[in-house]
């Protein structure tokens, strides 16, 4: 890796850069594979597209993402400029410039960690960073990007006697050891046939003109007094799971729902000895599962 100095990069040609061109002797390949100990970005998401320009061995030609230009030469120039700018911004701690840098996030943050291992963590995935922030009890703000979350974790590191003296590479490993790997999310619909099937089904659905049906139902009048009493009795605590209500209503009262242990529909009595106050989750659970063990608890 040591040959890839700033000087080298500034005169680098597209075949020295692109994946698939000079077999393994190219910048992208070296970044992706040979620095695996710096955090693996292999086989994730965008694959080669993440590097903007690559060599397609089937068509024997360079290809590029439209994001950086109309042809591979143009795209390569933009990518190379962005890499050089990124290295400048990393060296001088220009965070806004780092955030605005147009390189793909995984590529961007791996480069920063490789060139400035004492400043940037070797954790690049947004999912992983937000998972570690959550586990470390760091308040997450919607819209925090990779850099912000890295900064927050570095601040947290200073407060941890155990981690304070660690190098950042060691600290990154420590997070995985301490909190384990974040659960995997599978978004890609191609690996989720069921999701794709459901989406295909939606094509026949006319969202602007949904079908309407009219049903006549007989409703039993329930006593509002019974409901009010059991909610007051529960004082905000669900009588099944024992947890505090998940939210308060607009008047600031704890939100719970009244449920009849023996359902009214099954001739249960509408009285306080047959009624409980439940959080919405538990209420739904009772109506979907109606497990006898839960009924016992409520009784």
Residues that bind Zn ion (CB under 5 A): 238, 240-241, 259, 279, 282
> How far is Cα 118 from Cα 192, in angstroms, rounded to an integer?
40
Q: Please identify, using beta-carbon distances, which residue of 133 and 234 lies nearer to Zn ion.
A: 234
> How far is Cα 256 from Cα 239, in angstroms, rounded to an integer?
10
- The counts of H helices and E strands in the chain are 13, 4
What stretches of 83-189 adopt beta strand conformation (E)?
none
Closest contact distance (angstroms) between CB of 262 and Zn ion is 11
Q: Please identify, using beta-carbon distances, which residue of 117 and 236 lies nearer to Zn ion.
A: 236
Q: Please identify, using beta-carbon distances, which residue of 41 and 227 lies nearer to Zn ion.
A: 227
- Contact between 101 and 86 (Cβ < 8 Å): yes
Closest contact distance (angstroms) between CB of 293 and Zn ion is 14
DSSP code string of 85-110 = HHHHHHHTT-HHHHHH--S-HHHHHH
Closest contact distance (angstroms) between CB of 213 and Zn ion is 24
Closest contact distance (angstroms) between CB of 230 and Zn ion is 11
Q: Please identify, using beta-carbon distances, which residue of 61 and 296 lies nearer to Zn ion.
A: 296
Closest contact distance (angstroms) between CB of 250 and Zn ion is 21
> How far is Cα 188 from Cα 104, in angstroms, rounded to an integer?
18
- B/e letters for 149-168, b = 16+ CB within 10 Å, e = fewer, are bbebbeebbeeeeebeeeeb
Q: Please identify, using beta-carbon distances, which residue of 153 and 279 lies nearer to Zn ion.
A: 279
- 10 Å Cβ neighbour count for 111? 22
Closest CA to 245 of 259, 262, 231, 227: 231
Closest contact distance (angstroms) between CB of 229 and Zn ion is 16
Q: Read off φ and ψ for residue 259, nearest 5 degrees.
A: -130, 140
- Contact between 93 and 79 (Cβ < 8 Å): no
Q: Please identify, using beta-carbon distances, which residue of 166 and 298 lies nearer to Zn ion.
A: 298
> How far is Cα 249 from Cα 256, in angstroms, rounded to an integer?
9
Q: Please identify, using beta-carbon distances, which residue of 194 and 266 lies nearer to Zn ion.
A: 266
Closest contact distance (angstroms) between CB of 98 and Zn ion is 45
């Amino acid at each position: 890796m040591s040959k890839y100095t700033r000087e080298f990069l500034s005169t680098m040609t597209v075949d020295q850069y692109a994946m698939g061109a000079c077999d393994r002797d190219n910048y992208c390949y070296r970044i992706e594979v040979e620095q695996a100990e710096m955090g693996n970005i292999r086989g994730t998401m965008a694959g080669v597209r993440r590097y903007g320009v690559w060599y397609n061995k089937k068509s024997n030609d360079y290809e590029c993402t439209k994001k950086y230009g109309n042809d591979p030469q143009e795209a390569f120039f933009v990518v190379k400029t962005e890499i050089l700018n990124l290295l400048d911004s990393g060296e001088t701690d220009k965070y806004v410039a780092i955030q605005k840098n147009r390189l793909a996030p995984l590529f961007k943050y791996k480069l920063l960690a490789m060139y400035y291992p004492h400043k940037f963590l070797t954790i690049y995935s947004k999912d992983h960073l937000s998972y570690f922030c959550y586990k470390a009890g760091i308040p997450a703000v919607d819209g925090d990007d990779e850099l912000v979350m890295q900064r927050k974790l570095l601040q947290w590191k200073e407060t941890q006697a155990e981690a304070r003296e660690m190098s950042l590479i060691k600290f990154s490993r420590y997070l995985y050891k301490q909190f384990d790997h974040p659960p995997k999310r599978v978004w890609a619909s191609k690996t989720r046939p069921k999701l794709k099937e459901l989406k295909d089904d939606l094509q026949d659905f006319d969202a602007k003109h949904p079908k309407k049906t009219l049903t006549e139902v007989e409703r039993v009048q329930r006593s509002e007094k019974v409901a009010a009493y059991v909610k007051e009795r529960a004082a905000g605590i669900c009588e099944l799971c024992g947890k505090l209500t998940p939210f308060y209503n607009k008047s600031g009262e704890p939100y719970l729902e009244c449920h009849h242990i023996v359902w009214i529909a099954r001739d249960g009595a509408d009285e306080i000895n047959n009624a409980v106050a439940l959080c919405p989750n538990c209420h739904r659970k009772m109506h979907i599962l109606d497990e006898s063990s839960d009924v016992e608890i409520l009784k």
